[in-house]
């Protein structure tokens, strides 16, 4: 490979992916994406408001839920507005610096969310297997410290990703395979040895998301052992039902993550539509599903939402 010229050493921008042949449908695709984004923002803001204003929800499990809501808001907001700008105004270019910042935010926030999901699994394990010690172990102070550790862990593990890409020369083709910037996508456009970036990226993912997934599975193995020791099936189902919402949220996070990784690894010959859809699922599905799952499974949140709807209906009737 010849040594790249000077213009390759400092890329000014990347080109966001579009779907060949569907450029005329970008406006309607943006309407759909915007609707999903508004749903995600509304749902997570409602969760934050309800937990903040409902004293009975001031407990570690719901504080972790607030952390998830805040992460989902930040993750979707760091990507979707830029994608909407692309679809509505055809602004396909994203500067090199903005691309690296967006990439850092996506991977860091995903790592923080993975850590919070692990903390929620530990919370369920302690609540079921050591109920008398739950209040003493998972205090509000401990919950705050876990949130800070999750943030520090995400930043420390994924800050090197953009730093490793910063000095690389990039080839003339700078068209991404997604409508936003991901590490592997940007790295594949470099016309230099990317082995350090590949090795570090894989190591970071395994030590964060991979390790978290293993520990979550271990937590549920211990929970199942404790549940199966209960006398009746009714008691077993009642206790295990407290974990259903968390299991659904874990699946909503890890299934799109694994799917996107598989597409990156084995889907180079797939249609661009597949890459774009998988990327949007990875960003938006957890943000949309998390508040719905906990809203359906948590009676306190259900009651609070119904009370808010009832109050608004009464105000509307008085106004009319």
User: Are the beta carbons of 183 and 103 closer than 8 angstroms?
Assistant: yes
Under the banding of pLDDT at 50, 70 and 90, the label for residue 1 is very low
Per the DSSP assignment, residues forming a β-bridge with 94 are 14
Give the mean model confidence (pLDDT) for residues 299-314: 70
pLDDT for residue 315: 55
pTM: 0.90
**95-138: per-residue pLDDT in tens?**
999 999 999 999 999 999 999 999 999 999 999 999 889 889 99
Burial class (CB in 10 A: 0-12, 13-18, 19+), 65: buried
What pLDDT is attached to residue 199? 94
Q: Which two tokens stand for residue 8?
A: 């390759």
Is the pLDDT confidence value at 47 over 70? yes
Res 9: pLDDT: 47
If DSSP codes are grouped into helix, strand and coil, which group holds residue 175? Answer: strand
pLDDT category of residue 247 using cuts at 50, 70 and 90: very high
Using 50, 70 and 90 to split pLDDT, how confident is the model at 89? confident
**Range scoring the smallest mean pLDDT among 57-61, 101-105, 148-152, 273-277:** 273-277
pLDDT digits (tens, 9 = 90+) for 155-206: 999 999 999 998 888 877 788 888 889 998 899 888 888 899 999 999 999 9
> What does each C-alpha distance from 139 to 81, 131, 238, 270 come to in angstroms?
37, 13, 24, 48
Q: Average pLDDT over the chain, rounded to whole?
A: 86
pLDDT of residue 286: 92
Answer for the pair 106, 181: CB distance below 8 angstroms, yes or no: yes
Q: Which secondary structure element, helix H or strand E, spans residue 13, and what is its range? A: strand 13-15
Q: Average pLDDT, stretch 297-316?
A: 69
């Amino acid at each position: 490979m010849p040594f790249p010229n000077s213009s390759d050493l400092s890329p000014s921008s990347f080109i966001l992916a579009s779907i060949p042949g569907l450029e005329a449908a970008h406006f309607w695709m943006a309407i759909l994406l915007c609707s999903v984004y508004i749903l995600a923002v509304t749902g997570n803001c409602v969760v934050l408001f309800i937990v903040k204003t409902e004293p009975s929800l001031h407990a570690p499990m719901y504080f972790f839920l607030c952390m998830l809501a805040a992460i989902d808001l930040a993750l979707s907001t760091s990507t979707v507005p830029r994608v909407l700008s692309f679809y509505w105004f055809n602004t396909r270019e994203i500067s090199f610096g903005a691309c690296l910042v967006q990439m850092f935010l996506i991977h860091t926030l995903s790592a923080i969310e993975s850590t919070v999901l692990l903390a929620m699994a530990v919370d369920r394990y302690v609540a079921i297997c050591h109920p008398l010690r739950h209040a003493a172990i998972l205090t509000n102070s401990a919950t705050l410290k876990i949130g800070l550790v999750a943030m520090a862990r995400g930043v420390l593990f994924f800050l090197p990703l953009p730093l490793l890409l910063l000095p690389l020369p990039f080839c003339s083709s700078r068209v991404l395979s997604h409508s936003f910037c991901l590490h592997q996508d940007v790295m594949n456009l470099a016309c230099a040895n990317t082995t350090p970036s590949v090795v570090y990226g894989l190591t970071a993912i395994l030590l964060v998301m991979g390790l978290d997934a293993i520990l979550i599975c271990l937590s549920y193995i211990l929970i199942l052992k404790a549940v199966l020791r209960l006398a009746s099936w009714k008691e077993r189902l009642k206790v295990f039902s407290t974990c259903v919402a968390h299991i659904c949220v874990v699946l909503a996070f890890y299934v799109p993550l694994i799917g996107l990784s598989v597409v990156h690894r084995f889907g180079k010959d797939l249609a661009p539509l597949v890459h774009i859809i998988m990327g949007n699922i990875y960003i938006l599905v957890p943000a949309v599903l998390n508040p719905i799952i906990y809203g359906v499974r948590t009676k306190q949140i259900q009651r609070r939402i119904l009370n808010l709807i009832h109050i608004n209906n009464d105000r509307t009737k008085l106004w009319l």
